[in-house]
Structure 1
Amino acid sequence: MAKQIVKLDDAPLNKFHYKMTALTFGGHFTDGYVLGMIGIALTLLTPQLDLSPFWVGLIGSSALIGIFLGSLILGRVSDLIGRQKVFALNFLIIILASILQFFADSAIELVVLRILIGFGLGGDYSVGHTMLAEILPRRHRGPILGSFSVIWTIGFVLATVVGYSLLQVGPEAWRWMLSSAALPGLIIFIMRIGTPESPRWLVNQGRVDEARQIVRKHIGQSIILDDETPVETKGNFADLFSKKMRKRTAFNCIFYLCIVLPYFAIYTFLPTILGIMGINGNFGADLLLYVMLVIGSLLGILFTIKLSTRAFLNGAFIFLSVSLLLLSLLPSGSSILMITIFIAFTLIMSAVCNLTASIPPESFPTSHRSSGVGLATSFSRIGSAAGTFLLPISISNFGIQHSMLALTGVLIIGTIVSLAWAPETKSLSLDHASDTTNDQESSTKINTSGGA
């Protein structure tokens, strides 16, 4: 009996899919760990190095600045030379810079090293999302890509737990905290050696035979490529701003920014914010909200499966805008009400972060996918870096209420853009990304195709 021929987009999940998912998850775990640890380390760094609010903000945001640069530069590089090279080698930068943090003696040294760490992580965002999206079957793409948020949050929360545990080492404990990121980085680097190239990227380069060999070897003998017709151009970065793609480019940059800017600004300095707002500032209150981040990311997987992309994104933006506005206006003595709203805000904020991993890779054609994802990631991270840098200065000069109102304004902008431009990407075939001339046409095609 002849084997049934199945397209790559409809292939069943196998060990290769799980392996690539785990390797990509490793990058997100490390990112969460790196960004989660700095908040605890700063409690020791600030008095030891006599840091001003300027330097506290700059050190807190430096990895995000690096992610901006890495996403933008390495995303474009991977569209030109391939996903695999960046996917395998970017962790060398992360490992070396993490180790060197142990020997840092000044704020500027830490800023430079954390920018380098962020540079490597930025490449992982643009390449990891892209590479995995290009091999996953459409039915599972959204939930698996959305699961990145769960792993990122686990890394973020684990860093907090490890950081508090290391406080007993003494005032120099921050060196062990920051350099500990080298350990997961080394494990991931070793495991990524020998990973194959993305077959979709190979087809886009006209290397169809190589793509077929990878698909047959790793996904199945009866699996065929969705489209074996190579494009005539590798695509220019400027194409992202062409009439055909500028709306999807703008949407991905803005919605991504409006989610992660408040996230990083609030949760990087969570202990400080809780104390100023009159909520119990010990580790118990912090830990409760960090646990809610993990639960919320798991909730986000369920929402991704059960809801349409537009319904999930639009509803989350509206809820977050209202709840943060309430937190901004409530008097500091309303501890029980504040923590209740903060818990709900944390759950939904963490849940909707899942969409930052699934929407961008499904929005761009193969020739521009890594560049598009990299641009959206870099745009979000430079905004997050600005927010994280400015928040301590804003709180110092204008108070917590005005600072929270400013972050509420960011969420309101995200709500407006999402309501106007958000596409429906659920169960989208990646080939459609190059066929649609605008996001509304894409939504129409998908909604009438009966996607899961």
Structure 2
Amino acid sequence: MSTASFLDNAPLTRFHKKLLLQSAGGPFLDGYLLSIIGIALVGMTPELRLSTSEESLAGAAALIGIFIGGMAFGRVTDRIGRQLMYTVDLIALVVASALCVFVNAPWQLILLRLIIGIAIGADYPIATALLAEWLPAKKRGAMLGSLVVFWFIGATVATFVGFAMSAVFGDASWRFMLGSAIVPGAVILLMRIGTPESPRWLISKGRVAEAQQVVRSVFGDDVDLTGMAREEAPAVKQLGFKALLRGQYLRRTFFCGFFYLAAVTPLFAMYTFGPQILGSFGLGEGNMSNLGYTLISLLFLLGCLPALRWTETMGRRPLLIWSFVAMLAPMIILAVAPSGPAPLVIGAFAFYALASGGPNILEWSYPNEIFPTEIRATAMGVVTAVSRIGAAIGTFLLPLGLDSIGTGPTMMVAAGLTAAGLIVSMVLAPETKNRSLAEASAVTSSRQTPSDGSARTAAPAVLDREP
């Protein structure tokens, strides 16, 4: 059995669970930092005298940084490996978060949020590729998808931390809200030290002996590695960034990037400007806005939990399509009834949050499953970057839209984007349930639909390349 097929069929071990927690640190910090800026803006805006444009840039800067980090460091990770980058990016994030405490001008805040975003954007392809390349096939979709659960845990924790700091110390506590990311960042950094390199990546670079050593250090010396060098030998022609721009890889890049964009653009806008959005619906008095915002954060998290099971039972494709259908209805309600009663508005937000669980978890599994090892991190970085273009634009335009065209038309634009995500998913979404990484990433002429419930033996790596 080759290393790839052994890893695809390996039992779930303590090592896998530990690696999941380490990899989840990036999404946790992303959710934490994105959510807490929405609360910090309340005290930050008057103290730094932020204009509407500067306020929008402060909210969107991290998303722009994620675009840069994903585009630049996904390819770097495929070139030099996952292990080194796994810790370097978190060091940059912790340092930038600490410096946020000393901000005294709008440009400083925007610059630091940009740097934080670059570090987070780099972590997405690094951590998800490393995790995907170690996980067994039957648990891969759910465990990759669970990373978004940690995103929402981070976002939910941030709302409680932010509102608690605001209640105890007042609006002036915004500096410490932003700097509070130092604590989880440092803990995650320490957890990642000593994480082994991906054996799939080592094999793709022809470093077979190192791959054997890594696998045996985790699973023991009695692991059967017969035939590993022959079956997992690197392709004669190595793939690079340009491979994402042609043939089926271009279709896959477009599919992943667009459905990711359609799902996260409204979501990020809601998180960054949640209190302001609820206020625009007339729910900004007293604690109603804070209560509604916290409830919606929790529901985004809860919506992911059943989706983690459905991705392995229902499959990736039907889960994605039906989730987009369910997300579209509340968006239309918010668009046509912007002056509706509070229960209707909060109910629509809540239903959207619950329904978004499917796309939210598939954003993490699809890009890591349908691209081969040589360009897996590159693809995840590009897909993340593409999605953040829309998310950054949406986050920048949302407050301007609320001010200029009103709440109803702004929500209608979000509904249109959700409908576009549904159409693209119906046309392009593949099925990768229970497939080995080699099969899921293979270039084929039809959708990948397994005929049985078992993971198949990995095909030779050299056959999984675009001609």
- Normalising to structure 1: TM-score of the pair? 0.94
Q: CA separation in 2, counterparts of 1:327 and 1:126?
A: 34
Per-residue CA deviation, residues 102-157 of structure 1 (Å, 9 max, x unaligned), is: 11111111111011111111111011111100000000000111111111101101
Matched, 1:118 2:125: no
Q: CA separation in 1, counterparts of 2:295 and 2:171?
A: 26
* Residue type at the aligned position of 1:435: A
Partner of 1:58: 57
Partner of 2:328: 321
The alpha-carbon distance between structure 1 residues 341 and 447, as it changes in their structure 2 partners (threshold 3 A), is same
Q: CA deviation at 1:234?
A: 3.3
Matched, 1:390 2:397: yes
Q: CA deviation at 1:224?
A: 4.6
* Residue type at the aligned position of 1:244: Q
Matched, 1:448 2:455: no
1:132-151 mapped onto 2 (5 Å cutoff):
132-151=131-150
Partner of 1:236: 240
Question: Does the CA contact (< 8 Å) of 1:245 and 1:437 recur in 2?
Answer: no
Question: Does the CA contact (< 8 Å) of 2:28 and 2:152 recur in 1?
Answer: yes
Partner of 1:191: 191
Partner of 1:165: 164
Question: Does the CA contact (< 8 Å) of 1:16 and 1:219 recur in 2?
Answer: no
Per-residue CA deviation, residues 163-209 of structure 1 (Å, 9 max, x unaligned), is: 11111323431110001111111111122112111100000000011
> Which region of structure 1 is more displaced relative to structure 2, 279-288 or 393-402?
279-288
Percent identity at matched positions?
41
Task: Select which of 230, 243, 253 maps to 1:249.
Answer: 253
Question: Does the CA contact (< 8 Å) of 1:71 and 1:377 recur in 2?
Answer: yes
Q: CA separation in 2, counterparts of 1:342 and 1:147?
A: 22
Secondary structure of the corresponding residue to residue 355 of structure 2: helix
1:359-378 mapped onto 2 (5 Å cutoff):
359-378=366-385
Secondary structure of the corresponding residue to residue 364 of structure 1: coil
Per-residue CA deviation, residues 23-71 of structure 1 (Å, 9 max, x unaligned), is: 0012211111111110000011112222222111110011111111111
Partner of 2:458: none
Partner of 1:278: 282
Q: CA deviation at 1:215?
A: 0.8
1:44-443 mapped onto 2 (5 Å cutoff):
44-167=43-166, 168-224=168-224, 227-279=231-283, 281-438=288-445, 441-443=446-448
Q: CA separation in 2, counterparts of 1:288 and 1:109?
A: 32
Q: CA separation in 1, counterparts of 2:319 and 2:441?
A: 24
Q: CA separation in 1, counterparts of 2:290 and 2:442?
A: 51
Question: Does the CA contact (< 8 Å) of 1:88 and 1:195 recur in 2?
Answer: no
Secondary structure of the corresponding residue to residue 244 of structure 1: helix
The alpha-carbon distance between structure 1 residues 171 and 434, as it changes in their structure 2 partners (threshold 3 A), is closer
Question: Does the CA contact (< 8 Å) of 2:5 and 2:436 recur in 1?
Answer: no
The alpha-carbon distance between structure 1 residues 333 and 321, as it changes in their structure 2 partners (threshold 3 A), is closer
Q: CA separation in 1, counterparts of 2:164 and 2:205?
A: 50
Q: CA deviation at 1:333?
A: 3.3
Equivalent pairs counted in the alignment come to 444
Q: Tell me, which stretches of 5 or more residues in structure 2 are unaligned? A: 456-467
The alpha-carbon distance between structure 1 residues 442 and 197, as it changes in their structure 2 partners (threshold 3 A), is farther
Secondary structure of the corresponding residue to residue 354 of structure 1: helix
Per-residue CA deviation, residues 232-260 of structure 1 (Å, 9 max, x unaligned), is: 23322001112131111111111111111
Q: CA separation in 2, counterparts of 1:165 and 1:392?
A: 25
User: Cα RMSD (Å) of the superposition?
Assistant: 1.7
Q: CA separation in 2, counterparts of 1:340 and 1:102?
A: 37
Question: Does the CA contact (< 8 Å) of 1:41 and 1:174 recur in 2?
Answer: yes
Question: Does the CA contact (< 8 Å) of 1:212 and 1:224 recur in 2?
Answer: no
> Which region of structure 1 is more displaced relative to structure 2, 195-204 or 166-175?
166-175
Q: CA separation in 1, counterparts of 2:5 and 2:326?
A: 41
Secondary structure of the corresponding residue to residue 248 of structure 2: coil
Q: CA separation in 2, counterparts of 1:331 and 1:93?
A: 42
Q: CA separation in 1, counterparts of 2:32 and 2:248?
A: 38
Q: CA deviation at 1:362?
A: 0.3
* Residue type at the aligned position of 1:52: S
> Which region of structure 1 is more displaced relative to structure 2, 154-163 or 237-246?
237-246
Question: Does the CA contact (< 8 Å) of 2:146 and 2:361 recur in 1?
Answer: yes
Q: CA deviation at 1:6?
A: 6.9
Q: CA separation in 2, counterparts of 1:382 and 1:98?
A: 23
Q: CA separation in 2, counterparts of 1:90 and 1:334?
A: 45
Q: Tell me, which stretches of 5 or more residues in structure 1 are unaligned? A: none
Q: CA deviation at 1:434?
A: 4.5
Secondary structure of the corresponding residue to residue 367 of structure 1: helix
- Normalising to structure 2: TM-score of the pair? 0.92
